[in-house]
Chains A and B, each alone.
Chain A
């Protein structure tokens, strides 16, 4: 279906507005796409922020172009934001897009070909290309519109360029605010909040720019008011009081500050780098340091040196950087220097998918260090948890003299979500390490025989002088020459993980504690999995889910919980063999990484469903998996 709404349409009068139809929807997904540099991101972010301020649940995901400077109007250049808003809390990016606004037809085509758009979606597209002076472009337009026309979309052509030129000289710089105006009309956004948000976004620029953007916003709004006939009502059902809106990397950065850490060492790597952007400014105010090291190895070395000499420091990286840091991570474990490492996972192996999400580093995080190197691995599941996990991570690192890895991913890193504003507590920053004089005869690894725990001697502590070493060593940090020493010190380092595990609580099952199917997940997939489980339960399917925060040591009680379900399977964003593919047998099938771990630890036949599409999982897709694995009568 193709509806043309353009200049040829007569300007509507107020009286005609009775034909405007408003549909109420519990949730809706909106996309703004353009060539990179046309400001679609700003438009999308502002729309998301305004919606959050009005009390909608929001989850925003960046659409990142595949190339740095893609040619204009190429499908590979699709750049923008995908904003899912809901009446209540939104925990994931949802399924397909319901409303899209595109600055050219090619980026829209790209989204269509990626199967990102819902069947009955409303697509608003800039129509200047239809009459472009370049014949090739006109041909491209015609072909694209033809292809899009095959689907059941409602396509609305919008003369963005023409309209914007009535206000600004360079429409390319103004279309995004015009587009925002259209979206504000469709979703009946609070214009006062929108104007404030725009002013905030451009606060560092000339006030004239804010003024111009306000005009463009109004223009888009009034254009929509006189030309469109459909409005969507996603009623804000949340109290926006005391809420923060930020992405996962920002949450990690502020969490680190709240945790009292004041030295971060890093080397630029996508998608982790932006953590350091926040910290650079914050730490400067506190007397802290963000050290951009010469390489990934030096970054972890500096963090370890800093931790060794006092408060716990941290480093941030992504897959390739994790690989490079390996030797130092082993040293952290061996010498029992606390350290926090944040790994913002992206697609791998090797350079992989630098800007896209994957959960493929789990096993590397757990076992990537040669030798036996037991340490803690945690995974926040939401943006809010990104913030709070840093506080816990630092604390565990300090108490257990251990390396703590925090695994997030590109989905959390760039996703934006409102969450309750934390009530900051100075206690999060912890106490400074004990530096009181060391009593005579106390050793730097005075392991408690039961727990493996010991006091850390920090430079400056009188009487604590010793030489820390990465060689196998005894209680006194003396290089081990006797055969039994390595056995004992290995046991002591390992024991700490058992001790920590003894303090963990069994995970809480989402849904009934027994049934046909239990989905197990970790990290950023929580929202999508739980939404899928809820949908399945509404259909009468017996499904529950469980989400792990601690991967090492693993949370207790799993075997017991698994035993109460007919089938247990993980849902993950990493690769696993499809059992139906050639040569794949139950014996040689490579399974999802969490599945692998759970099978090894629980001896339960845990199945898995995983995808590596470079995007977050959609609740709809997981819902399909549940349907396929549970029939109304029981597990399939």
Chain B
């Protein structure tokens, strides 16, 4: 147990070991075949692997199908407002750097209604994992065009097909000053998804992970070819990013060595949408992290009163 900057009070059984069922919340109520299930499993596996205490882990979400995510975890969860997960997560982490913070957003959440927060959270570079579960559509509200809907793709709001080219979240995030971790993975490749989330968790800073995801009801066809034809996917690998898990080597044969330190190359890769590319595009831990703006050490109540008294002297008559 701890409050604010790392109190030392911790439960006596703190060295207890956690298993998968320690992280399992309510039964997930997403549609069968929804990519969210796969992300949920990967996240729970990650927590087991890292042995994160459930009570010291917070999943913050917005509104949308994927934002039900925290309900299915047995950690702390904050299922807040549409598009506003990032400010909440920032507040949590600024106040409690000791907590492990994960953010789960949909594409509408992250790059539409909450786009301003996405830009600034990237720049703040507060230590957290920010997953954008991108199914290219508004699912909860029944098939409206999202910013990442492919051009020409038909929806209830644009029955003639999306008029505009899809927004490229990777390219955009890489364009934001002080971005420190940008990765892309796909929900249908669990081993890669897990490895990417792990790399994101271990990164010190704001780790933005776009998870390509199928909506079995509205956008099943978007990634159909890529799911069936692994050769359509380039795997970006590097010791400083993610390596291709052994189990996938036979399937994903197009491996591209990409040093995540190389921002120019990352931007080039992100901009070229002719092929799907999964892996860590960019990573730099040397960027300033906003939570460190907090000046330590902390002071006791008595100390604060003393300092405040000194401060008030300048207003004394």
Indicate yes or no for A touching B, C-beta below 8 A.
yes
Check B95–A424 contact: CB distance below 8 A. no
Q: A294-B120, A310-B3, A310-B4 are in contact. Are A418 and B317 (CB under 8 A)?
A: yes
Known interface pairs A260-B301, A328-B84; A244-B95 also in contact (CB < 8 Å): no
Residue-wise, chain A 429-463 has the 8 Å CB interface mask toward B (1 for contact) of 10011011100000000000000000001111111
Looking across the interface, which residue of chain A has its beta carbon closest to that of B310? Answer: A285
State the CA gap A471–B80 with chains docked (Å).
8
Q: How far is the CA of A308 from the CA of B91 in the complex (A)?
A: 9
Which residues of A lie under 8 Å from residue B59 when comparing CB positions? 467
CB distance from B62 to the nearest CB of A (A): 10
CB distance from A614 to the nearest CB of B (A): 28
Cα–Cα distance between A289 and B97 once the two chains are bound (Å): 13
Nearest chain B CB to A182's CB is how many angstroms away?
Answer: 23
Q: Contacts of A463 on B, CB cut-off 8 Å?
A: 55
| Contact, CB under 8 Å: B296 / A287 | yes
Contact A460 B1 (CB under 8 A): yes
Assess whether B116 is in contact with A470, with CB atoms less than 8 Å apart: no
Query: Contact: B309 with A331, CB < 8 Å?
Result: no
The interface-forming segment of B69-77, B240-248, B250-258 is: B69-77
Offer 17 A-B interface pairs, CB within 8 angstroms, sorted by A: A53-B317, A242-B316, A243-B317, A244-B312, A254-B312, A263-B94, A286-B304, A298-B86, A298-B90, A309-B96, A311-B4, A418-B317, A429-B305, A437-B1, A459-B58, A460-B96, A465-B54
A64–B296 CA distance with the chains assembled, in angstroms:
38
Cα distance A299–B117 in the bound complex, in angstroms? 10
Neighbour of B304 across the interface among A260, A295, A309, A465, CB < 8 A: A260
A302 contacts B295, C-beta separation under 8 Å: no
Interface residues of A in 14-72 (CB under 8 A from B): 49, 52-53
In the complex, what's the smallest C-beta–C-beta distance from B49 to chain A, in angstroms? 19
Q: Is the CB of B71 within 8 A of A479?
A: yes
Q: From residue B112, how far is it (CB to closest CB) to chain A in Å? A: 14
Task: Please state if B301 and A305 are interface contacts (CB–CB under 8 Å).
Answer: no
Please tell me if A468 contacts chain B, counting CB pairs below 8 Å: yes
Contact (Cβ within 8 A) B5 A287: yes
Besides the known contacts A467-B73, A467-B79, 20 further A-B residue pairs in the complex with CB atoms under 8 A apart: A240-B317, A254-B311, A257-B304, A263-B94, A282-B307, A285-B307, A286-B299, A287-B299, A297-B84, A298-B90, A301-B91, A305-B88, A307-B95, A328-B84, A435-B9, A457-B76, A465-B77, A467-B70, A468-B77, A468-B80
Binding site for A on B (CB under 8 A): 1-5, 9, 11, 25-26, 54-56, 58-60, 70-71, 73-81, 84, 86-96, 98-99, 116-117, 119-120, 293-299, 301-302, 304-305, 307-309, 311-312, 314-317
Q: Judge if A410 is at the interface, Cβ distance under 8 Å.
A: no
When distances are taken between beta carbons in the complex, the residues of chain A under 8 Å from B76 are 457, 459, 464-468
| Distance to closest chain A CB from B55 (angstroms) | 5
Knowing A294-B116, A426-B305 touch, does A284 contact B295 (C-beta < 8 A)?
yes
Partner of B295, one of A285, A298, A303, A310: A285
Task: Name the residue among B79, B86, B298 with the largest chain A CB count within 10 angstroms.
Answer: B79
Distance of A301 Cα from B91 Cα, bound (Å): 7
> Which residues of the partner chain A approach B84 to less than 8 Å between Cβ atoms?
297-298, 301, 327-328
A305 touches B315 (CB 8 A): no
Instruction: Say how far A513's CB is from chain B's closest CB, in angstroms.
Output: 35
> Which of chain A's residues 253-308 have a Cβ closer than 8 Å to chain B?
254, 257-258, 260, 263, 265, 282, 284-289, 291, 293-295, 297-308
- Report whether B301 and A429 are in contact in the complex, using a CB–CB cutoff of 8 Å: yes
User: Contact at A461–B305, with CB atoms within 8 Å?
Assistant: no
Chain A, Cβ-Cβ closest to B302:
A426
Closest 5 CB pairs between A and B? Answer: A305-B91, A301-B87, A467-B77, A305-B88, A302-B91
Specify which of B4, B94, B305 is in contact with A302 (CB 8 Å cutoff).
B94
Contacts of B77 in A (CB 8 A): 465-469
B312 touches A421 (CB 8 A): yes
Which of A287, A294, A462 is close to B294, meaning CB atoms less than 8 Å apart?
A287
A284 to chain B, nearest CB (A): 5
Q: Quick check: A245 and B317 within 8 Å, CB to CB?
A: yes
- Chain A positions within 8 Å of B119 at CB level: 294
**A246 at interface, CB cutoff 8 A:** yes
Hey, which chain B residues are within 8 Å of A263, CB to CB?
A: 91, 94-95
A250 within 8 A of B: yes
Residues on A with C-beta less than 8 A from B80 are 301, 331, 468-470
Distance A433 CA – B94 CA, assembled complex (angstroms):
17
Flag whether A539 is at the interface (Cβ < 8 A): no
Cβ contacts A75-119/B at 8 Å (1 or 0 each): 000000000000000000000000000000000000000000000
Chain B residues, Cβ within 8 Å of A459: 55-56, 58, 76, 92, 96, 99
Question: Which B residues are in CB contact (< 8 Å) with A421?
Answer: 312, 316
In Å, the complex CA distance between A304 and B295 comes to: 21
Q: Which residue among A302, A328, A331 has the maximum number of chain B CB atoms within 10 Å of its CB? A: A302
- Contact assessment for A309 and B55 in the assembled complex, using a CB-CB cutoff below 8 Å: no
A458 touching B3 by the CB < 8 A rule? yes
Q: Is the CB of B99 within 8 A of A460?
A: yes
A331 to chain B, nearest CB (A): 6
Instruction: Give the distance to chain A from B244, nearest Cβ to Cβ, in Å.
Output: 34
Of the candidates B25, B88, B293, B311, the one whose C-beta lies within 8 Å of that of A282 is B311
Give Cα A295–Cα B119 distance, bound, in whole angstroms: 12
CA distance A245 to B313 in the complex (A): 10
The answer for the CA separation of A460 and B90 in the assembled complex, in Å, is: 17
Question: B315 is contacted by which of A246, A307, A466 (Cβ under 8 Å)?
Answer: A246
Report B-chain residues with C-beta under 8 Å of the C-beta of A301. Answer: 80-81, 84, 86-88, 90-91, 117
A305 and B78 within 8 A (CB): yes
Instruction: Answer whether residue A313 sits at the interface, using C-beta atoms and an 8 A cutoff.
Output: yes
Residues of B within 8 A of A436 (CB): 1
A539 to B219, CA, bound (A): 80
Contacts of B9 in A (CB 8 A): 435
Q: With A and B bound together, what is the CA distance between A301 and B302 in angstroms?
A: 30
Tell me, in angstroms, the Cα distance from A258 to B96 when the chains sit together.
Answer: 21
Contact A433 B3 (CB under 8 A): yes
Most chain B CB within 10 A, of A288, A307, A463, is at A288
Partner of A286, one of B71, B307, B309: B307
**For residue B98, which residues in chain A have a CB less than 8 angstroms away from its CB?**
460
> Which of A309, A433, A461 counts the most B-chain CB atoms under 10 A from its CB?
A309
A310 to chain B, nearest CB (A): 5
Expressed in whole angstroms, the minimum distance between the Cβ of A436 and any Cβ of chain B is 7
Query: A243 near B92 (CB under 8 angstroms)?
Result: no
**Residue B116 contacts which of A242, A298, A300, A468 (CB distance < 8 angstroms)?**
A298
Contact partner, A429, options B81, B86, B298, B304, Cβ 8 Å: B304
Q: Give B117 Cβ to nearest chain A Cβ, in Å.
A: 6
Task: Determine the chain A residues whose CB is within 8 A of the CB of B315 once the complex forms.
Answer: 244-246, 250
Smallest CB gap from A200: residue in B: B314
Which residues of B sit under 8 angstroms from A427, Cβ to Cβ?
Answer: 301
Q: Measured between alpha carbons, how far is A242 from B313 in the docked complex, in Å?
A: 10
| Chain B residue at smallest Cβ distance from A299 | B87
- Within 8 Å CB of B309, what residues of A? 424
Q: Which residue of B lies closest to A293 (CB)?
A: B87
- B3 partner residues in chain A, CB cutoff 8 A: 310-311, 432-433, 435, 458, 460
A206 CB-CB contact with B under 8 Å: no
B69 closest partner in A (C-beta):
A467
Are A257 and B308 in contact, with the CB atoms below 8 A?
Answer: yes
Contacts of B55 in A (CB 8 A): 459-465
A291 to B90, CA, bound (A): 10
Contacts A294-B120, A328-B81, A479-B71 given; indicate if A286 touches B298 (C-beta within 8 A). yes
Contacts of A470 in B (CB 8 A): 79-81
Once the chains are docked, how many angstroms separate the CA of A426 from the CA of B306?
9
**CB–CB B1/A435 < 8 A:** yes
Residue contact B301 to A289, C-beta cutoff 8 Å: no
Complex Cα spacing A436 to B79, Å: 24
Is B305 in contact with A425, judged by CB distance below 8 angstroms? yes
CB-CB under 8 A from A52, the residues of chain B are 317
Chain B residues in 8 Å Cβ range of A258: 305, 308
A window 210-250: CB within 8 A of B: 240, 242-246, 250
Complex alpha-carbon distance, A305 and B316, angstroms: 36
- Do B91 and A303 have beta carbons less than 8 Å apart? yes
